[in-house]
Amino acid sequence: MTTTKIDVFPHIMPRKFFDRMLAVAPPGLTLQKRMSGIPVLVDVEQRFRIMDRYEGYVQVLTLANPPLEVIGGPDVTPDLARLANDEMAALVSKHPDRFPAFVASLPMNNPDAALKEIDRAIGDLGATGVQMFSNVNRRPLDLPEFQPLFDRMAERRLPIWLHPARPALVADYAGEPRSKFDLWWAFGWPYETSVAMGRLVFSGVFDRHPDLVIITHHMGAMIPFCAGRVGGGLDQLGTRSDDPEDGTALGRLRKRPSDYFKMFYGDTALFGAWHAMESGLAFFGADHILFGTDMPFDPERGPGFVRDTMAAMERMRASAEDKAAIYEVAIGLGRHHPGERDVRHAVGIDRDLGNEDEPGQRRVPLQRDDETALEVLRALTPQSPALEVADADRDQDTHGDDECNPQHDLPSVRDDTRHFDASHVLGDSRLETISRARPAGVTPLTGGSPWNAMSLTLTSAVRRHRARAPKPPGAVEAPMLRGRAAYVRSTMYRCESMST
């Protein structure tokens, strides 16, 4: 079976956003020269032609550099963020087999507007997380004004994508007007990411939110290579200076600094450097690495980084299991170690639709009046007579997502014998796609296909969550949903002729 390769850090500039960006950008930014030379940023059809070269390759869309706050002031960026997110959401809706999800951009120079955009992009558009840059116009992310944004993402249980930012105007040496020879990019960007990670560690963000997922671009930048420095080196914090803040920093943390750095996630966007991938694998572990390419910023303006990153994945000395986990961790097919957070949460395109009450059990939100759906569930799980509807007011869910909020008074389905997890039966939000995808051997209900009826129940959740499910033991892949792979428990269906 073809391995699905989910690129979690490619970049795009939707056409309407691109045109608006050029119209409002201040003089002096060489945006048009740089971006116009990379047609794949705005030309979706050309992007598809490149993607078609690599079987099973799909993209989680992220907006390309520069940060919105570089383009406009706090009165301009909220509109830019809304336009960018609306356009990326439209691409996901139109091409779900190519783009399973998108990452929302935020007007970080307007924190109040950024907080509202988090709720709008996730709640209304189905964004799978948000992108932040390593600083906000040279201001650090650990400032109190940005803390509510991290709090909200932890509440939402969705990831933050962390992208480096450092312009050429930040000189490398005193007395010089700018950084020379693109060294601000080659070395400045990894430094920026690493320092941002460090500032977040010492701000206590992981003590406040131990389940917060932050995906760092370019495999955690300098951190894996500098593991000794963030280990024994930072264990001696306070001995190298007389700064009182340095002296008290370790006492405020519950763990060693190096333990917090390992809580970050990294992507494989290292431009084909397989040996650097191995360093990242050794530091983070396969469960904290996701496949990412930085497409289309290679010298070939599109295919190069995708090809080279896949080649590096092949060359990297790692087990086949680890490589598959890195490619597919975003849809929950990676390994899961007891006591560790499920890798499905690493990328929110696979978050649960309900809370787990205990291992092997969770609630699934349904439309209040969809009795047909209950019939479908009972028909698809004939071995589970205990299937019942639990009133959301009586049996409250504390998941951060809208569908599971008790104020919406949505009932849920609970099966005390064999739980039914709707995320195991997910396909495209378009009903016709789901209705075509009934696996051979599944006996439909009298009068129609259970996939049609199921889609009536799940379509809004699918559209907004773009969920993915881990492949359970004995599972099979439903045909015709290649990019929107839907895994179903064969034990729940009458599928005598199917095997894994």
Specify the pTM: 0.70
What is the per-residue pLDDT for 2?
75
Residues 258 and 402 in one domain: no
Could you give the percent of the chain with pLDDT greater than 70?
Answer: 65
pLDDT higher than 80, residue 442: no
Dihedral pair phi/psi, residue 489, rounded to 5°? -75, 115
Same domain flag for 472 and 364: yes
Domain boundary among 335, 350, 365: 350
Give yes or no: residues 427 and 474 share one domain.
yes
Q: Are residues 268 and 413 in the same domain?
A: no
Domain containing residue 291: CATH number: 3.20.20.140
Give Rg (Cα) of the chain: 23
Residue 162 lies in a domain: yes
On whether residue 499 sits in a domain, the answer given is no
pLDDT for the residue numbered 232: 95
What mean pLDDT, rounded, does the chain reach? 74
Handedness of CA 446, 450, 451, 455 (dihedral sign): positive
For residues 225 and 373, membership in a common domain is answered with no
Query: Are the CB atoms for 276 and 219 separated by under 8 Å?
Result: yes
Looking at the fold, whether 123 and 264 belong to one and the same domain comes out as yes
425-443 mean pLDDT: 32
**Which residue among 350, 381, 415 closes a domain?**
350
Cα 42 to Cα 37: distance, rounded to the nearest angstrom: 11
Any domain includes 429: yes
User: Is residue 129 one of the residues assigned to a domain?
Assistant: yes
Could you report the per-residue pLDDT of 213-265, keeping only the tens digit for each? 999 999 999 999 999 999 999 999 999 999 999 989 999 999 999 999 999 99
Residues 154, 35 share a domain: yes
Q: What is the pLDDT of residue 32?
A: 63
Place of tokens 């709008």: 120
Domain that holds residue 19: 5-350
Q: What is the tally of helices (H) and strands (E) in the chain?
A: 19, 17
pLDDT band at 349 (very low <50, low <70, confident <90, very high): very low
- Please indicate, yes or no, whether residues 294 and 422 belong to a single structural domain of this protein: no
Same domain, 117 and 155: yes
Phi, psi of 136 (to 5 degrees): -115, 95
pLDDT digits (tens, 9 = 90+) for 26-35: 877 766 667 7
Domain closes at, from 333, 350, 367 = 350
Residue 47 pLDDT exceeds 50 = yes
Phi-psi region of 319 (alpha: psi -120 to 50; beta: other; left: phi over 0): beta
Residue 490 has pLDDT above 50, yes or no: no
Kindly tell me if the per-residue pLDDT of 451 is higher than 60.
no
Structural domain count, the chain: 2
Encode pLDDT of 189-213 as tens digits. Answer: 999 999 999 999 999 999 999 999 9
Is residue 500's pLDDT more than 70?
Answer: no
Task: Kindly state whether residue 375 falls inside one of the protein's structural domains.
Answer: yes
Beta strand 101-102 pairing with 361-362: unpaired
364 in the same domain as 303 = no
pLDDT of 397 reads 37
Tell me, yes or no, whether 11 lies in a domain.
yes
Report, as an integer, the average pLDDT of 406-422: 31
Which has more confidence, 386 or 75? 75
Specify which of 35-44, 101-110, 379-388, 432-441 reaches the highest per-range mean pLDDT: 101-110
500 belongs to a structural domain: no
DSSP-assigned states of every residue in 391-435: -TTTS----SSGGG-GGG---EEE-SSS---GGGS---SSHHHHH
Query: Are residues 294 and 384 located together in one domain of the fold?
Result: no
More confident residue, 440 or 78: 78
Residues 19 and 118 in one domain: yes
Peptide bond preceding 299 in cis form (omega within 30 of 0): no
